[in-house]
């Protein structure tokens, strides 16, 4: 019987260094058939269908939920430059820091739920989600001082006093939204692991329509200002969560949700370690965008620079929902195939996903290059801001292109359970290469935000993508399938014993 310590060690180990002698062969009834005689075009078509069943609704739901932030920011932008800067910093920097960590921690469910679902251990998914709720709510409590002390933190980081004051006020009203993330992120992973993304997509569409209507009514027509924008954003996200919970609790997931269980409190330490590794892996990547905005706030003419960069980050974030959809879809497809004992199927899923995402990335790169002068009109009519955004458009286009590859490779890591390994890679690429290079180019060469951003893109991102690509190409997928089998059996055995 594996002890708690054994399971934690199994999850935390680097995959390439695991002891293959301890891995038992997968039973034949657990292994999916890989059809050698099937035509390549047929395989690509079938895998694309499987992938898009997850990715399509996933992208739609992510675009819809992120659009609520973009719409709120756009309404704030038309109230004034100060309101736009405050809303941008509060949502992109203050909320962005805890979103990055909690979103990453929730991605542990993509490994565990995806592999359990592939192995047909359906009852485990509900318990995993409950464990994730416990871990993320505790995390939200720990991160709460960041929102409460936002104003002094921003002033300490060199932000203009008026921007820091208003951003701090906005951050306080974002506290309900902060706790909403701790509930919503595990729900999303729980549902997408069992290919129920359409439920998330339709719910997100419904909530987006409500959000647009309320924003138009209270901000544009009734002129209630910035406070109404913030409160509507809180309401819309909680409406999304409540709707999904009603679906789950009222029989939408009969195999995977059997009610609340005390088993959720067992094995929390092991679950926390895997969640923390997942959180570090993703948040190190997510945080660098926030740090870029903070660094820009220390430049001359900071309001215009911050507004322009925030608009670019919002557009990038909007488009980033597509690679993140592939990130989640790739993670689920790889985890499902590994859980079912099909290593070659997992490898093929990676190839199809990366190729599809690159094609989409090239399309958006071309779109931004053509319409760079019109990009900012959604957010602002200020001529200095529009001019600055146009200057940053080339960097935005190449960021979008690079992001069409890197998140998908991170999705492979999530699906395979390599989170702790990739966390070290992200730490080195983002904070030992990206930030120092960006700082050096921005201040030493007096190129401002363009130099900061260029250094980060062509320094850390490129290196990270190359490293992840090499790891993925070197992966022995059949061995990874055996490891997934060990992981599922260990966790399910512990649950049955409790």
60 within some domain = yes
Helices (H), 107-122: 108-118
11 within some domain = no
pLDDT (mean) for 456-482: 78
Distance separating alpha carbons of residues 97 and 147, to the nearest angstrom: 10
Ramachandran class of 225: left when φ > 0, alpha when ψ lies in -120 to 50, beta otherwise: left
Instruction: Name the domain count of the chain.
Output: 1
Q: For 326-373, what is each residue's pLDDT tens digit? A: 877 887 788 778 777 788 888 888 889 889 989 999 999 998 888 877
* Largest Cα span, the chain: 69
pLDDT (mean) for 218-222: 86
12 within some domain = no
Tokens representing 464 are 């990270």
170 within some domain = yes
pLDDT on residue 119: 74
Distance of CA 263 to the CA centre of its chain: 27
Q: For 248-281, what is each residue's pLDDT tens digit? A: 999 888 888 988 888 778 777 777 777 776 666 6
Please give the residue that has the higher pLDDT: either 100 or 468: 468
428 within some domain = yes
Q: Which domain holds residue 226?
A: 36-497
pLDDT on residue 398: 87
Please give the residue that has the higher pLDDT: either 136 or 478: 136
Q: For 193-211, what is each residue's pLDDT tens digit? A: 887 888 988 999 999 999 9
Q: For 388-433, what is each residue's pLDDT tens digit? A: 888 888 888 888 888 888 778 877 776 666 766 776 777 777 777 7
Q: Is the pLDDT reported for residue 30 higher than 50?
A: no
Q: How far is CA 194 from CA 53, 122, 253, in A?
A: 11, 9, 9
Distance separating alpha carbons of residues 473 and 449, to the nearest angstrom: 35
254 within some domain = yes
Please say whether the beta carbons of 182 and 137 come within 8 A. yes
pLDDT band at 376 (very low <50, low <70, confident <90, very high): confident
**DSSP for 198-227, written as a single string:** HHHHHHHHHHHHHHHHHHIIIIIIS--HHH
Please say whether the beta carbons of 53 and 333 come within 8 A. no
Task: Enumerate residues 6+ apart whose C-beta is below 8 A from 374.
Answer: none
Q: Is the pLDDT reported for residue 163 higher than 50?
A: yes
Please say whether the beta carbons of 346 and 415 come within 8 A. yes
Task: Enumerate residues 6+ apart whose C-beta is below 8 A from 11.
Answer: 270, 273, 274, 277, 417, 420, 487
13 within some domain = no
9 within some domain = no
């Amino acid at each position: 019987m594996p002890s708690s310590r054994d399971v934690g060690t199994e999850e935390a180990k680097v995959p390439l260094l695991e002891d293959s002698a301890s891995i038992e062969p997968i039973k034949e009834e657990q292994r999916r058939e890989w059809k050698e005689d099937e035509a390549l075009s047929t395989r690509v078509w079938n895998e694309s269908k499987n992938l898009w069943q997850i990715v399509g609704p996933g992208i739609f739901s992510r675009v819809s939920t992120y659009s609520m932030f973009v719409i709120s920011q756009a309404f704030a932008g038309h109230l004034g430059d100060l309101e736009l800067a405050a809303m941008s910093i509060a949502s992109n920097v203050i909320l962005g820091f805890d979103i990055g960590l909690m979103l990453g921690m929730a991605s542990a469910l993509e490994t565990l739920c995806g592999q359990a679902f592939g192995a047909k251990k359906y009852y485990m998914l509900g318990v995993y989600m409950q464990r994730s709720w416990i871990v993320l709510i505790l995390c939200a409590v720990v991160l709460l001082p960041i929102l409460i002390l936002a104003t002094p933190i921003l002033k300490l980081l060199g932000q203009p006093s008026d921007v820091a004051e208003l951003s701090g006020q906005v951050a306080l009203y974002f506290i309900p939204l902060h706790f909403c993330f701790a509930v919503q992120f595990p729900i999303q992973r729980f549902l997408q692991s069992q290919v129920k993304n359409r439920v998330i997509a339709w719910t997100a569409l419904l909530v987006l329509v409500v959000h647009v209507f309320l924003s138009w009514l209270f901000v544009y027509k009734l002129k209630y200002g910035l406070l109404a924008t913030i409160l509507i954003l809180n309401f819309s996200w909680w409406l999304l969560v409540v709707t999904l919970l009603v679906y789950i609790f009222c029989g939408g997931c009969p195999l995977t949700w059997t009610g609340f269980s005390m088993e959720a409190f067992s094995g929390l330490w092991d679950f926390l370690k895997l969640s923390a590794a997942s959180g570090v892996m993703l948040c190190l990547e997510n945080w660098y965008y926030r740090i870029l905005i903070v660094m820009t706030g220390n430049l001359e003419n900071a309001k215009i620079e911050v507004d322009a960069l925030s608009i670019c980050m919002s557009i990038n974030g909007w488009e980033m929902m597509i690679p993140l959809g592939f990130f989640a879809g790739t993670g689920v497809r790889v985890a499902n195939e590994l859980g079912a004992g099909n290593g070659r199927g997992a490898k093929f899923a990676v190839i199809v996903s990366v190729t599809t995402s690159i094609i989409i990335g090239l399309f958006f790169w071309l779109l931004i290059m053509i319409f760079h002068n019109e990009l900012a009109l959604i957010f602002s009519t200020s001529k200095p801001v529009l001019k600055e955004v146009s200057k940053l458009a080339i960097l935005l286009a190449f960021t979008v292109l690079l992001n069409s590859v890197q998140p998908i490779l991170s999705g492979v890591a999530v699906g395979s359970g390599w989170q702790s390994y990739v966390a070290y890679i992200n730490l080195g690429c983002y904070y030992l290469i990206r930030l120092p290079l960006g700082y050096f180019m921005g201040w030493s060469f007096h190129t401002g935000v363009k130099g900061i951003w260029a250094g980060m893109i062509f320094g850390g991102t490129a290196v990270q993508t190359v490293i992840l690509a090499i790891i993925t190409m070197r992966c022995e997928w059949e061995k990874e399938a055996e490891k997934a089998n060990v992981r599922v059996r260990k966790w399910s055995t512990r649950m049955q014993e409790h």
